A and B are shown apart, each in its own frame.
Chain A
Amino acid sequence: MSENRNLIEVKNLKKYFGKVKGIIKRKVEYVKAVDDVTFHIKKGETFGLVGESGCGKSTTGRTIIRLYEPTAGQIIYDGTDISTLSSRELLKYRKKMQMIFQDPYASLNTRMTVADIIGESLDIHKLASGKERQEKINNLLQSVGLSKDHASRYPHEFSGGQRQRIGIARALAVDPEFIICDEPISALDVSIQAQVVNMLEDFQEERGLTYLFIAHDLSMVKHISNRVGVMYLGSLVEVAEKNELYSKPTHPYTQALLSAIPVPDPDIAEESKRVILTGDVPSPINPPSGCKFRTRCQYVKPICSEEVPELKDIGGGHYVACHVVNN
């Protein structure tokens, strides 16, 4: 399904948010939301990005699409570095990259009809007008399982699952190549989640889409992704093909994260031994020196506080950033 060409290459991406302090409002502290992240996404594949809240997975997604300006690093889309393009030059790429947001209640403008929500991007990119626009909107609504009668309604008239479908229709309106799905199913009920995930898979097959799937639901990420990256406190700690990652997690954090998934099968749930992490995620303003996970890691060694571990290939495209594993 996936070709070998890289559609997205992210190189040493950094996104710091400055915190203003004092009377003269100097920026003194930085929240290092994304700190030196490197990965690539092949054309036609789904790359899953997992991690706890506050680990920078959403910020990574938003920086790639340049909703946030990157502090440093490169974002290469199909061979072109888009991290420094002006907003006019970027417009061309915005048409190729779209986003589906987490909260279907907050991401749709309540004062616009569904037709206008979906049609807005058609207007901006001057893709269709008049009857053609209407027809396109109707087709999109039908393809996400809504009817064309819904076009004149407002978002409050829809349920959560239906709103997420509208969000998907909006993303598909401009015929994108790449879609960032930022927790698209977390706000939905279990039985509705499967409907939305199946729809995303169908569209990928039909249109050859590439997805960056951001989620904290590890079992759903395993289901939908080809490769998965695990983030902790702004850094990627492990990247691997999904079956490899879920069967042979190597980084201590990945191991703990995977063992924490509640398994919906009593026999397995009772047998499995949990690696329970103690404490909370440290503050991204003053992250621990060296390996950021060392404060919660059970295998911690002296070197962990001195050097930042590099993301190294341990074979077969399985990358791990850990001193204990790499030595």
Chain B
Amino acid sequence: MTQKLLEVKNLRTSFFTHLGEVKAIRGISFHVNEGEAIGIVGESGSGKSVSSLSVMRLLQFPGKIVGGEVLFKGENLVNKPKKEMMKIRGNEIAMIFQDPMTSLNPVFTVGNQIMEVILKHQKITKTEAKEKAIEMLKLVGIPSPEKRIKNYPHEFSGGMRQRAMVAIALSCEPDLLIADEPTTALDVTIQAQILDLIKGLNTKLGTSTILITHDLGVVADVCSRIVVMYGGLIMEEGTKREIFYEPRHPYTMGLLKSIPKVASDTKTRLVPIVGTPPDLLKPPTGCPFFARCDYAMNICREKQPPYFTINEGHRAMCWLLHDEAPKNELYDSQKGGVRSV
């Protein structure tokens, strides 16, 4: 099970706007094992969505991959011709987008849109495709799918539309499912339904999943490994427990501190991360988190830190992990992650 399904190596993506080059992703490397669910967490503008679009090669002008490799089953996707990419998209890698209201085509029926994917990638007849579409809708828990298949997206509620999106994504049994903020536009009770669905597909069908979100609560439930992004770079990567209970990067610590804890009865003041994310038009030369970091040192401004490995699979980009970094009690007190108050 430790076969790497997807490996992203030093990927860099930029947007060439009239103001200059916006370096949205500045060299990220991560991998997804077969059957694994990983989470990519970050604030808006951290590059988490752009990285998924880069993997799918769905970037639109003026966005462009400027360097690095995306290895899917050992093949590099970055230089694949358009035609071959189309065979992979929807068939081997599928994607669920954030907004179910805008990502379905309003002038085609839901059934039509599911059948479109199946007919495109599989050599089967229309009737068979229709049966398959009904089966998919049933799988994602839409009641009376035989009737619903004739409905247009506007006749579906938000949660049902997102289910239909999941049905489209899964109709060709992809090996990798990329879910980009799949529940942000939904209510908590519906969110729980969709997350349960994605989690079930991962555990039952063994579909590898990349879940992109800004909500730490969502990844805590679904994913086994977490990648924390900030300013177009991966700040920290580790297993779920390592990220939540033994974070080493001040940004991860800050994120965990800034969310209220439902479990505790006592009221503690939230600790916000001061300031705002960096402007990627002029990315800072040093650590992108430098300006907002409580433990910033001189070197942080001047030089981008390398990755320091804490355990196998747990790494963080921070100068504080260097042997010569001064001891910082405040920093040490935060090492317990969500458990340290």
Contact = CB atoms under 8 A, between A and B. Distances in A.
Say whether A associates with B: yes
Interface string B178-207: 000000000111111101100000000000
Given A190-B214, A216-B187, A223-B260, A266 B244 contact: yes
A132 interface: no
Interface residues of A, number: 43
B211 to A, nearest CB: 11
A246 interface: yes
A3 interface: no
A260 B255 CA distance: 21
A220 B260 CA distance: 6
B173 interface: no
Contact of A261 (B143, B157, B188, B276): B188
B262 A246 contact: yes
B83 to A, nearest CB: 39
B240 A266 contact: yes
Contact of B43 (A191, A247, A268): A191
B187 A191 contact: no
B188 A216 contact: yes
Interface in A191-213: 191-195, 197-198, 201
A274 to B, nearest CB: 6
| Most-contacted residue by chain A among B220, B244, B256, B262 (CB, 10 A) | B262
B338 A191 contact: no
Contacts, number: 123
Given A189-B214, A262-B217, A218 B43 contact: no
Given A256-B189, A276-B193, A269 B217 contact: yes
A264 B256 contact: yes
B276 A161 contact: yes
| Most-contacted residue by chain B among A223, A246, A266, A278 (CB, 10 A) | A266
Contacts of A264: 216-217, 220, 244, 256, 259, 338
Contact of A192 (B260, B261, B267, B276): B276
B269 interface: yes
Given A52-B187, A260-B188, A260-B191, A191 B217 contact: no
A219 B187 contact: no
Contacts of B265: 243, 247
B302 interface: no
A53 interface: yes
B244 A276 contact: no
Contacts of A201: 269
B192 A276 contact: yes
Contacts of B159: 280
Contact of B189 (A189, A247, A257): A257
Contact of A218 (B141, B157, B220, B262): B262
Interface residues of B, number: 46
B263 interface: yes
A246 B217 CA distance: 17
B270 A261 contact: no
Contacts of A53: 187
Contacts of B254: 191
A243 B218 CA distance: 23
Given A191-B254, A194-B270, A263 B187 contact: no
A277 interface: yes
A260 B218 CA distance: 10
A219 B260 contact: yes
A274 B256 CA distance: 23
Contacts of B322: none
Interface string B36-80: 000000011000000000000000000000000000000000000
Contact of A190 (B216, B262, B269): B216
B297 interface: no
Interface string A275-295: 011111100000000000000
Interface string B214-228: 111110110000000
A191 B188 contact: no
A269 B258 contact: no
A130 to B, nearest CB: 34
A220 B255 CA distance: 15
Interface in B95-133: none
B306 interface: no
B189 A194 contact: no
Contacts of B276: 159, 161, 192
A263 B188 CA distance: 12
Given A198-B270, A265-B220, A277-B193, A190 B258 contact: yes
Contacts of B43: 189-191
B188 A280 contact: no
Contact of A222 (B157, B262, B272): B262
23 contacts: A189-B214, A190-B43, A190-B215, A190-B216, A191-B255, A192-B276, A193-B258, A216-B188, A218-B262, A219-B262, A220-B260, A223-B267, A247-B265, A256-B189, A259-B192, A260-B189, A263-B262, A265-B220, A265-B338, A268-B263, A269-B221, A276-B196, A277-B193
* Smallest CB-CB A-B distances: 6 pairs: A262-B217, A194-B272, A223-B260, A260-B192, A191-B273, A194-B258
Interface of A: 52-53, 159, 161, 189-195, 197-198, 201, 216, 218-220, 222-223, 243, 246-247, 256-257, 259-266, 268-270, 274, 276-281
